[in-house]
């Protein structure tokens, strides 16, 4: 079995409502779909999603397409798609960085392997360890009332993990947003705050408006990791 064809499809898919983040407001998500086909007719699909161009990372949908078509496809065609690890290593050697582009191709290779063997891909990765995965919901609505209504609607549908997009406006406004949302639910958040802003804002976002003392070293390390948790 050899790879006979590789096609790349780019699609800008609109979101249900504008998604306001610290660096841009998204109206669409930029997807790249990779379709691989083997000489005996097996087809595998992979994808990558980019947010607002090369802002969330150094890659954009356009760069993903160019990288795959120009620097991966020419040598990948004709190779054995089941040699996934060898192809992954070669992709990393030929294409430095560009993880979104490489991941989309690797995803399609795994898809082909699963389809050729007639088994789900998790069987090839060591077996299933859970039958469901909890999903998070990003709250990034410009209108504060609409954001709370959206949170309530998602809670009613079973969501229990929320990401609050911060950093687009004033720190005081973000703290007030978090306070209001805490009254509706106690979400997890990925913060656009810098460590200094997070350290300034955190004490005021404690339960009932009281200070929530946190060791500075612990909070700083969590800020550097880019994540925080708003406790119930």
Q: Are 141 and 164 in contact (CB under 8 A)?
A: no
Q: Is 53 left (phi over 0), alpha (psi -120 to 50) or beta?
A: left
* Joined tokens for residue 148: 């709370």
Q: Of all helices (H) and strands (E), which one includes residue 9? A: strand 3-20
For the chain, count helices (H), then strands (E). Answer: 9, 7
Catalytic residues, by residue number, are 165
Rg of the chain (C-alpha set): 22
């Amino acid at each position: 079995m050899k790879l006979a064809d590789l096609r790349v499809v780019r699609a800008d898919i609109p979101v249900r409502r504008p998604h306001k983040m610290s660096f841009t407001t998204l109206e669409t998500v930029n997807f790249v779909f990779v379709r691989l086909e083997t000489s005996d007719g097996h087809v595998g699909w992979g994808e990558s999603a980019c947010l607002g161009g090369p802002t969330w990372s150094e890659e954009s949908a356009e760069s993903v397409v160019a990288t795959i078509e120009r620097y991966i496809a020419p040598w990948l065609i004709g190779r054995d798609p089941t040699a996934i690890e060898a192809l992954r290593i070669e992709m990393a050697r030929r294409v430095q960085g560009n993880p979104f582009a490489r991941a989309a191709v690797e995803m399609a290779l795994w898809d082909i392997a699963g389809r050729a063997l007639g088994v789900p891909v998790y069987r090839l990765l060591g077996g299933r360890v859970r039958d469901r995965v909890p999903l998070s919901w990003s709250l990034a609505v410009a209108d504060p009332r609409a954001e709370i209504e959206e949170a309530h609607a998602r809670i009613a549908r079973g969501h229990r993990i929320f990401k609050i997009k911060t950093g687009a406006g004033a720190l005081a406004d973000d703290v007030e947003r978090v306070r209001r949302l805490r009254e509706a639910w106690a979400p997890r958040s990925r913060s656009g705050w810098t460590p200094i802003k997070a350290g300034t804002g955190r004490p005021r976002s404690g339960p009932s408006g009281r200070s929530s003392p946190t060791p500075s070293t612990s909070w700083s390390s969590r800020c550097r990791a880019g994540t925080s948790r708003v406790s119930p």
